[in-house]
Amino acid sequence: TCQDPGMRMVTLADGVPVPCLGLGTWRMGESRSSHAADVAAVRQALELGYRLIDTAEMYGAGGAERVVGEALRGASQAGTVRREDVFLVTKVLPGNASRKGTVAACERSLDRLGVDRVDLYLLHWRGGHPLRETVAAFEALRERGRIRAWGVSNFDVDDMDELWSVADGPRCLANQVYYSASERGIEFDLLPAQRRRSVATMAYCPIDQGALASDPTLAEIGRRLGASAAQVALAWVLRQPDVIAIPKAGRERHLRENLAAAALKLTDGDLAAIDARFAPPRRKQRLAMT
């Protein structure tokens, strides 16, 4: 499942392999006028070989999930992919994350996506509902086969500690957080804590919402490697075996570049130059969020 022979895989704690690089969909499905172009972009990503897609009920108030569903259906009908070849991630809004609300939100997401199961279901960020309720709902959905696995997003170390203390909390397989060369605070504590617990880290905004594509230091390194600054930013995030990156791209050139970045290797010299540009954290930093 989800195997593209050229793509490195990250194995989740349940043994399921996930491509180390996928497609983000924030800001897709937000308007009727952009709907067709958004569907075309996701469809093209599937044709190019993307086998991991990240979305959320929040994006475009369900519109992004509809875009993903339409692209997936089109690509399946054309014989480009089978549903089971694509690892689908979506998220429940914290306001919906009660015991019953989570299950209902998941059913709505499945409906918009046009699938009967998502591969990974995340709590988008912490809200008012007790974690044990959300976890109980996730486990019920997993047992019913509506989700294959679950995780969280925007959880800092204290949130993870709390999660690990509730019943079934240790079944959390991933935490999706802001992580890029310019936002690397998690390296101080969260990343090592997750590593100890075999929780995969999914890096959102790995190009810092496009800003790192024009960073002079990354561009300079890229020139030596025959790569763009954005590709260097992605290769930097992916230098670690348990980190998954989900850059968003709508343009074909970006889609192609980002996919190719998964195979790009940085040297120790490149990494030192990036440390000099963006210092590694020496103390606790609060988790960055967008």
Residues that bind ligand NAP (CB under 6 A): 24-26, 54, 124, 153-154, 176, 204-210, 213, 228, 230, 246-251, 254, 257-258, 290
Q: Which is nearer to ligand NAP, 100 or 187 (CB)?
A: 187
Burial of 114-127, coded b for 16+ CB within 10 Å and e otherwise, reads ebebbbbbbbbbbe
Residue nearest ligand NAP by beta-carbon distance: 24
Tokens of 52: 């991991």
User: What DSSP assignment string belongs to 195-222?
Assistant: HHTTPEEEEESTTTTTGGGG-HHHHHHH
Nearer to ligand NAP, 141 or 264 (CB): 264
- C-beta of 43 vs 248, nearer to ligand NAP: 248
Minimal distance, residue 153 CB to ligand NAP, in Å: 4
- The nearest distance, CB 251 to ligand NAP, in angstroms, is 4
**Cβ 164 to ligand NAP, closest distance in Å?**
20
How many angstroms separate the CA atoms of 121 and 134, rounded?
11
Residue 59 annotated in active site: yes
Which is closer to ligand NAP, CB of 54 or CB of 189?
54
Instruction: Please report how close the Cβ of residue 234 comes to ligand NAP at its closest, in angstroms.
Output: 8
CB 21 within 8 A of CB 7: yes
Complex with ligand NAP: residue 141 or 244, whichever CB lies closer: 244
Of 59, 121, 178, 179, which is the active-site residue? 59
Contact between 154 and 143 (Cβ < 8 Å): no
Would you call 31 helix, strand, or coil by DSSP? coil
Angle, to 10 degrees, between the axis of helix 63-77 and the axis of helix 32-48?
50
Amino acid 133 reads: E
**By the 8 A CB rule, do 106 and 92 touch?**
yes
Q: Are 247 and 21 in contact (CB under 8 A)?
A: yes
Kindly report the backbone phi and psi dihedral angles of residue 265, in degrees, each rounded to the nearest multiple of 5, phi listed first.
-110, 130
| Closest-CA residue to 38 (of 248, 256, 188) | 248
Q: Which active-site residues does the annotation give?
A: 59
